[in-house]
């Protein structure tokens, strides 16, 4: 018989701590980034005008510190959610994965013809196949689509059309 006690369950799990996954950052679209930058510029101009003695602003800003907090919050949001362009080996690896994902998406995504089928006018067997394919697509492709869009936004942050899946539909 063994001389020692088996380790407690809690101790066993503490020794085998699983690594936590980093949460995936949701990136802002190029249009949203532009809007936030314009908001920041507008708030900064408001603060500058408020400091001038002959200000053209109707009324004075009651709490300039609150406006500065808004500016800081918007800048932090931009910094956190603006994608950095991938370069070098990371970009090559991501591009390879994106090409594989595009091939899979092309195979599994319903075609334009299948999407346009009308139940009343078309053969019902084709319609049933199209419906089953669309149902499978909606249920099983979310993780691939999410990762594909994330990678494409990192490969070229300035191009908003890269994340559009309709360009891949046959």
**Res 88 pLDDT > 80:** yes
**Res 11 pLDDT > 60:** no
Instruction: State the residue for tokens 């603006």.
Output: 82
What pLDDT score does 10 carry? 45
Rounded to 5 degrees, what are φ and ψ at 64? Answer: -60, -30
**Res 38 pLDDT > 90:** yes
Mean pLDDT of all residues in 36-49: 89
Taking a C-beta distance cutoff of 8 angstroms, is the pair 155, 85 a contact? yes
Reported pTM: 0.58
Q: Measure the CA–CA gap between 158 and 83, rounded to whole angstroms.
A: 9
Q: Other C-beta atoms within 10 Å of 67: how many?
A: 16
What pLDDT score does 74 carry? 92
Q: Which two tokens stand for residue 132?
A: 């089953």
Q: Which two tokens stand for residue 67?
A: 């406006």
């Amino acid at each position: 018989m063994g001389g020692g006690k088996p380790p407690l369950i809690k101790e066993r799990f503490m020794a085998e701590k699983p690594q936590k996954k980093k949460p995936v950052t949701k990136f802002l679209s190029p249009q949203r980034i532009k809007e936030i930058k314009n908001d920041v510029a507008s708030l900064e101009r408001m603060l500058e005008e408020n400091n001038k003695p002959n200000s053209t602003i109707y009324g004075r800003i009651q709490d300039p510190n609150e406006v500065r907090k808004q500016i800081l919050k918007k800048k932090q949001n931009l910094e956190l959610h603006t994608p950095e362009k991938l370069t070098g080996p990371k970009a090559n690896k991501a591009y390879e994965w994106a090409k594989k994902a595009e091939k899979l998406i092309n195979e599994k995504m319903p075609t334009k013809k299948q999407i346009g089928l009308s139940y009343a006018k078309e053969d019902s067997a084709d319609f049933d196949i199209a419906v089953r394919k669309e149902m499978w697509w909606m249920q099983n492709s979310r993780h691939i689509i999410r990762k594909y869009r994330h990678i494409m936004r990192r490969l070229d942050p300035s191009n908003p059309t890269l994340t559009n899946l309709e360009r891949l539909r046959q």
